[in-house]
Structure 1
């Protein structure tokens, strides 16, 4: 077994009893006593969340609204509220079940097991939200949030974030980022530098501690892991960018002047045709989001060394 269950309730005695019952069944149990503590524990990727509604500060309904887009696991509400309207509200905000207090521990454990079995039968769904600590990147809505705070980004700024975050831990040169977001054509790689500068400023305004985009001197930029998902993709190195560190990693081949390392999902032909490894249907143009105010048209592109 060994699935991870997150129990959130301000009643410590209740949490203790639930934890003991679940651990007796072989589950790993994480505990929180207020809504504000949930975010840090989400990095442990719980398989199911037991969430009390009536808590001081952020109540269970608010917490569910807050985290539902970033977690796909079942959320089971625990509450002393027994009215039909309360049950409907809990299910409407994203809850998968509603258990009223007092309840039998045997029934609670049985419901937990039933929801986990249902998850095993459900086909995996494509992730539309990337989470790096408290930073959320909604690929479908083209939005970046820190907790419940929306960080305004232009369309091109978001596409730069999408390109890097979907390839967490991989290093891309300015030219590779330009071609992945703006596509092939006339333009300046300095456009990438300016966009990254603005992105860093906006992220730093809400989270001055975490480094999301780091500079790899002599090569380019990398999106740091920060407890977020790591997407499998292609790592591409332009001629002249390989140093001793890159050589030690073992680059398996050269195609058309590009040093490359590929996984099964991206072909060399896609790279040479300028296909965007984030979304092949976009053809590398970075048109996943509609234009927004502040997107500048890049000037004549300098391809000199």
Structure 2
């Protein structure tokens, strides 16, 4: 598998590359926004995941993340590297479509584990992969990780897809953000705003037909199509 590492610090790129190559990945390195954009355009069909530095020379990691999500391979998993500690900045990256983020300074081993986790979930196939999930106008095809709403395709990032399929498989059950971090992200701990932002993004992509309910003080729940009044889209 090929991983793109985009960071303007050559030392960071070198350390991360060695860890990833030790795990069996091939690595493409870039040091600024233009080179990263060119690498994605040239090698987009082979890049399995991109690690993008938020603060590299423009276009920065967030701008490139947005471009990927609106481009020809919008499902490419993305991890952001950020030295920004403010929650609002982390949320900005998640809202741009990042699947995960790692805050600098970071452990290269932790980043390598995050890469493996995101890739594992983006390629995950359930035992019942031949079964299509349907709930009202929403239809999910696990084999191809495809989502349709009223027969129209909807593009979801790998994490957004994992979140939606988990909720559809557990309707009418309430999950806290901590539980969703564990079940969907595979994290024992982490920034709970990660869940909040992904729920917001899934709701936006499904539009008025989403049925992710907020259970105040407890978490989120998926309401089956036959379990909510037709005019209730809260």
2:10 matched to which residue of 1?
12
Choose which of 84, 88, 109 in structure 1 pairs with 2:87.
84
> 1:98: how far off?
1.3
Residue 104 to residue 67, structure 1, CA distance change in 2 (3 Å): same
What's the counterpart of residue 63 of structure 1?
64
Q: Secondary structure at the match of 2:106?
A: coil
Which of the numbers 30, 33, 46 marks the counterpart of 2:31? 33
After superposition, residues 192-211 of structure 1 pair within 5 angstroms as: none
Q: Deviations over 1:211-249 (max 9, x none)?
A: xxxxxxxxxxxxxxxxxxxxxxxxxxxxxxxxxxxxxxx
Q: Distance in 2 between matches of 1:36 and 1:125?
A: 31
Unaligned runs of 5+ in 1: 128-138, 142-305
Question: Partner residue of 2:121?
Answer: 118
1:28-76, CA deviations, whole angstroms, 9 ceiling, x for partnerless residues? 1011111111233223231111000001221111111112122212100
Task: Give yes or no for contact 2:50–2:77 (8 Å, CA) kept in 1.
Answer: yes
CA distance in 1, matches of 2:146, 2:39: 22
The TM-score with structure 1 as length reference comes to 0.40
Deviant stretches of 4+, over 6 Å: none
Q: Distance in 2 between matches of 1:38 and 1:96?
A: 18
**Greater fraction of residues in helix:** 2
Deviation at 1:112? 0.6
Root-mean-square deviation (CA, aligned residues, Å) is 2.3
SS of alignment partner, residue 123 of structure 2: helix
Show the counterpart of 1:176: none
Aligned-partner Cα distance in 2 for 1:37–1:95: 20
SS in 2 for 1:121: coil
2:146/2:153 contact within 8 Å kept: no
Q: Aligned runs of 1:177-256 on 2, under 5 Å?
A: none
TM-score (norm 2): 0.51
**Equivalent residues, number:** 129
Q: CA deviation at 1:82?
A: 1.1
CA distance in 1, matches of 2:36, 2:56: 13
Q: What's the CA shift for 1:27?
A: 0.2
Alpha-carbon deviation of 1:126? 5.4
Helix, strand or coil for the counterpart of 2:50?
strand
Secondary structure, in 3 states, of the residue corresponding to 1:57?
coil
Matched, 1:101 2:99: no
